[in-house]
A and B are shown apart, each in its own frame.
Chain A
Amino acid sequence: MGWEEKQVRGYLEFTQTAQRYHGRPIFALFCGDKDAEGRSWCPDCVTAEPIVRKELHNMPDDSVFIYCLVGDRAYWKDPNNEFRKNLKLTGVPTLLKYGTPQKLVEEECFKAELVRMLFTED
Chain B
Amino acid sequence: QEAAKYDKKVMVLDFVTPTPLGNSWGLGGTCVNVGCIPKKLMHQAALLGQALQDSRKFGWQFTEEVKHSWMTMTESVQNYIGSLNWGYRVALREKKVTYENAYGEFVGPHTVKATNKRGAEKLYTAERFLIATGERPRYLGIPGDKEYCISSDDLFSLPYCPGKTLVVGASYVALECAGFLAGLGLDVTVMVRSILLRGFDQDIANKIGEYMEEHGINFIREFVPIKVEQIEEGTPGRLKVTAKSTKENQIIEGEYNTVLLAIGRDACTRKIGLDTVGVKINEKTGKIPVNDEEQTNVPYIYAVGDILQDKLELTPLAIQAGRLLVQRLYAGATSKCDYVNVPTTVFTPLEYGACGYSEESAVEKFGEENIEVYHSHFWPLEWTVPSRDNNKCYAKIICNIQDNERVIGFHVLGPNAGEVTQGFAAAIKCGLTKEQLDSTIGIHPVCAEV
Which residues in A have some Cβ–Cβ distance to B below 8 Å? 100-104, 108, 111, 113-114, 117, 121
Contact = CB atoms under 8 A, between A and B. Distances in A.
Contact of A111 (B79, B85, B86, B94): B94
B86 A102 contact: yes
B89 interface: yes
B137 interface: no
A114 B87 CA distance: 11
A114 B82 contact: no
B146 to A, nearest CB: 26
A111 B96 CA distance: 12
B103 to A, nearest CB: 16
Interface of B: 79-80, 82-83, 85-86, 89-90, 93-94
B83 A114 contact: no
B90 A104 contact: yes
Interface of B is mostly: helix
Interface of A is mostly: mixed
Contacts of B82: 100-102
A114 B79 contact: no
Contacts of B94: 111, 114
A49 B90 CA distance: 19
B37 to A, nearest CB: 13
Contacts of A102: 82, 86
Q: Which 6 pairs across A and B sit closest by C-beta, in order of nearness?
A: A101-B83, A101-B82, A102-B86, A101-B86, A101-B79, A114-B93
A32 to B, nearest CB: 23
Given A101-B80, A114-B90, A117-B89, 11 more contacts: A100-B82, A100-B86, A101-B79, A102-B86, A103-B86, A104-B90, A111-B93, A114-B93, A114-B94, A117-B93, A121-B89
Contacts of B85: 101
Nearest to A113: B93
Contacts of B83: 101
B234 to A, nearest CB: 27
A51 to B, nearest CB: 15
Nearest to A108: B90
Contacts of A101: 79-80, 82-83, 85-86
A50 B146 CA distance: 51
Nearest to A116: B93
Contacts of B79: 101
Which of A102, A104, A108, A113 has most chain B Cβ within 10 Å? A102
Nearest to B87: A101
Nearest to B84: A101
6 contacts: A100-B86, A101-B80, A101-B83, A102-B82, A108-B90, A117-B93
Nearest to B81: A101
Nearest to B92: A117
A121 B101 CA distance: 11
A100 B94 CA distance: 21
Nearest to B101: A122
A117 to B, nearest CB: 6
B4 to A, nearest CB: 14
A117 B86 CA distance: 10
Contacts of B80: 101
B56 to A, nearest CB: 31
Which of A101, A102, A104, A108 has most chain B Cβ within 10 Å? A101
A72 B449 CA distance: 53
A47 to B, nearest CB: 17
A18 to B, nearest CB: 17
